[in-house]
Amino acid sequence: MASPLAAQAGKLLRDLALRPPLLVARSQALQLTPRRWLNLQEYQSKKLMSDNGVKVQRFFVVDTANEALEAAKRLNAKEIVLKAQILAGGRGKGVFSSGLKGGVHLTKDPKVVEQLAKQMIGYNLATKQTPKEGVKVKKVMVAEALDISRETYLAILMDRSCNGPVMVGSPQGGVDIEEVAASNPELIFKEQIDIIEGIKDSQAQQMAENLGFLGPLKNQAADQIKKLYNLFLKIDATQVEVNPFGETPEGQVVCFDAKINFDDNAEFRQKDIFAMDDKSENEPIENEAARYDLKYIGLDGNIACFVNGAGLAMATCDIIFLNGGKPANFLDLGGGVKESQVYQAFKLLTSDPKVEAILVNIFGGIVNCAIIANGITKACRELELKVPLVVRLEGTNVHEAQNILKCSGLPITSAVDLEDAAKKAVASVAKK
Ligand code: GDP
Ligand code: MN
């Protein structure tokens, strides 16, 4: 049962949890686009950066074309750059549903700023990192454009394999860093940082040099790198990614883009930052799930998966694929489960019209299977479940749980193990 796909998928999930910019290989098969961690928009990240001595361009954030025009006038800059604010990267090469090409535009004319903003706000922007239909743009950043003489890449991230922070840099920035990693791995530089000692001057200098900053620019870049690291620590980030980390012809080192991810476990001490999360790009169903302490990940198949734990979710997904089916979603029930959560979980799973069968795969370690069984029977009755339900329970109190299901008189298909469960779920969909 230990298939390479399961291993790959497990790794994918772990990687996604940390979102290291170099490692995230988006799985074609899974189309996983979970948003389980706080992400801020570029303008919010840049505000944090500038508050902490990191160099960013002057900017305003607007949500109408008219405000964009006003902002452009107020900036009174030689040139203006407009940037659609969505959480995905690759905006520069994105396309709007209005037909406009490019989520990042430079212009010298405030009137053009207004016209461009009109074609951005309220339209979907699709990039390599968004779903096909794109993400609706609600805000646009209007910033003073600066000339860029060189684009480098810099990220600081928590790396599991290093048990701590790692700096990743490349003199070849601006572009898709995964491509650089694939074609020119020698142009990717990594530097592990001791979380107790903090970043050493020599490390910042070395990275600045690796990024190709020369002469007086080297000290300036090193100083920016140290400030970015200190910010990373201060705000409990799991990743700070600046691409491009650029150089201007006037000799300034500037962070032209910013992507910061945060550690959810630090929410209690980062209240101001977490309050900035507007969750507006979440699927409504994800937000609904979060209200009940459930994690929802939407996929594009037709078998709903109700599981506990990310590992079991991936194994379930894997085995459904292996048996010729496709998961519609995962709903991950955490540890301490209440019967009411099981009910809510079913309600959410069945609200997705793509769902043609439900597979419950719960391993009762901390979870008591009898509670799950009671929750399932209650949900089946109250929601008048119309799709086939296959249940595989294992672990704590499993015999009592199976009795509850059997005695319920409900059309629930029991499965002896994961393989059996997947086969039965796939068969129930195929029959339709
Ligand atoms: P992304 O495509 O979502 O990563 O958005 P970025 O903020 O990285 O912008 C994309 C590209 O636009 C950058 O790599 C730059 O080449 C260019 N760009 C962004 N801001 C400026 C600017 O102020 N001046 C110039 N000349 N180019 C910019
Ligand atoms: Mn970028």
- Report pLDDT digits (tens) over 133-150: 999 999 999 999 999 999
C-alpha–C-alpha distance, residues 46 and 216, integer Å: 24
pLDDT at 421 over 60: yes
What length is written for the chain? 432
Rounded to the nearest whole angstrom, what is the distance from the C-alpha of residue 403 to the centroid of ligand 1? 61
pLDDT at 17 over 80: no
pLDDT above 70 covers a percentage of the chain that reads 90
H-type alpha helices, 149-215: 177-183, 201-210
Q: 74 Cβ partners below 8 Å, 6+ apart?
A: 60
pLDDT at 4 over 80: no
Structure tokens at 357: 């069968």
| Confidence (pTM) | 0.72
Structure tokens at 43: 């303008």
Reported confidence tier of residue 1, pLDDT bands at 50, 70, 90: very low
At position 155, the amino acid (one-letter code) is: A
Residue 199 · residue 166 · CB < 8 Å: no
Rounded to the nearest whole angstrom, what is the distance from the C-alpha of residue 255 to the centroid of ligand 1? 10
Q: Which residue has the higher pLDDT, 288 or 305?
A: 305
What pLDDT sits at residue 16? 41
* Residue 190 CB neighbours (<10 A): 14
Rounded to the nearest whole angstrom, what is the distance from the C-alpha of residue 244 to the centroid of ligand 2? 6
- Which residue, by CA, sits nearest to atom 16 of ligand 1? 174
What 3-state DSSP class applies to 227? helix
What pLDDT sits at residue 37? 66
C-alpha–C-alpha distance, residues 140 and 68, integer Å: 8
Cα–Cα distances (Å) from 257 to 55, 192, 297, in that order, read 11, 23, 28
- Report pLDDT digits (tens) over 317-373: 999 999 999 999 888 887 667 788 888 898 888 888 889 999 999 988 888 899 999
Residue of 56, 148, 178, 253 best suited for mutating to test ligand 1, as the one with most atoms within 8 Å of CB: 148
Q: Which of the 8 DSSP states describes residue 118?
A: H
Which ligand is located closest to the Cα atom of residue 105? Answer: 1
Indicate which atom in ligand 1 lies nearest the CA of residue 257. Answer: 7
Indicate which atom in ligand 1 lies nearest the CA of residue 92. Answer: 2
Indicate which atom in ligand 1 lies nearest the CA of residue 144. Answer: 23
What pLDDT sits at residue 340? 83
C-alpha–C-alpha distance, residues 198 and 83, integer Å: 34
Which ligand is located closest to the Cα atom of residue 175? Answer: 1
- Which residue, by CA, sits nearest to atom 14 of ligand 1? 174
Please list the active-site residues. 153, 241
With left for phi above 0 and alpha for psi between -120 and 50, is residue 37 left, alpha or beta? Answer: beta
Residue of 39, 45, 104 best suited for mutating to test ligand 1, as the one with most atoms within 8 Å of CB: 104
Which ligand is located closest to the Cα atom of residue 41? Answer: 1
Rounded to the nearest whole angstrom, what is the distance from the C-alpha of residue 342 to the centroid of ligand 1? 46
pLDDT at 15 over 90: no
DSSP letters of 52-114?
TT-----EEEESSHHHHHHHHHHHT-SSEEEEEE-SSS-GGG-EETTS-B-SEEEES-HHHHH
Which ligand is located closest to the Cα atom of residue 151? Answer: 1
Structure tokens at 48: 């944090």
Helix (H) / strand (E) containing 406: helix 398-407
Q: If you average pLDDT over every residue of the chain, what do you get? A: 88
Q: Report the pocket of ligand 1 as residue ranges, CB < 6 Å.
A: 57, 81, 83, 89-92, 104, 106, 145-148, 151, 174, 243-244, 256-257
Indicate which atom in ligand 1 lies nearest the CA of residue 173. Answer: 14
pLDDT at 47 over 70: yes
Indicate which atom in ligand 1 lies nearest the CA of residue 88. Answer: 3
C-alpha–C-alpha distance, residues 84 and 117, integer Å: 9
At position 178, the amino acid (one-letter code) is: E
At position 340, the amino acid (one-letter code) is: S
| Mean pLDDT in residue range 219-229 | 98
What pLDDT sits at residue 21? 31
Rounded to the nearest whole angstrom, what is the distance from the C-alpha of residue 142 to the centroid of ligand 1? 12
Q: Which of the 8 DSSP states describes residue 367?
A: S
Rounded to the nearest whole angstrom, what is the distance from the C-alpha of residue 104 to the centroid of ligand 1? 6
C-alpha closest to that of 213 among 244, 186, 185: 244
What pLDDT sits at residue 432? 59
What pLDDT sits at residue 34? 40
C-alpha–C-alpha distance, residues 192 and 173, integer Å: 20
Is the sign of the CA dihedral 253, 256, 261, 262 positive or negative? positive
- Report pLDDT digits (tens) over 61-104: 999 999 999 999 999 999 999 999 999 999 999 999 999 999 99
- Report pLDDT digits (tens) over 250-301: 999 999 999 999 988 898 999 999 999 867 777 778 778 888 888 888 888 9
C-alpha–C-alpha distance, residues 33 and 16, integer Å: 9
Rounded to the nearest whole angstrom, what is the distance from the C-alpha of residue 313 to the centroid of ligand 2? 32
C-alpha–C-alpha distance, residues 314 and 317, integer Å: 5
Q: In what order do the strands lie in the sheet with 357-364?
A: 294-298, 327-333, 303-307, 357-364, 389-395, 412-414
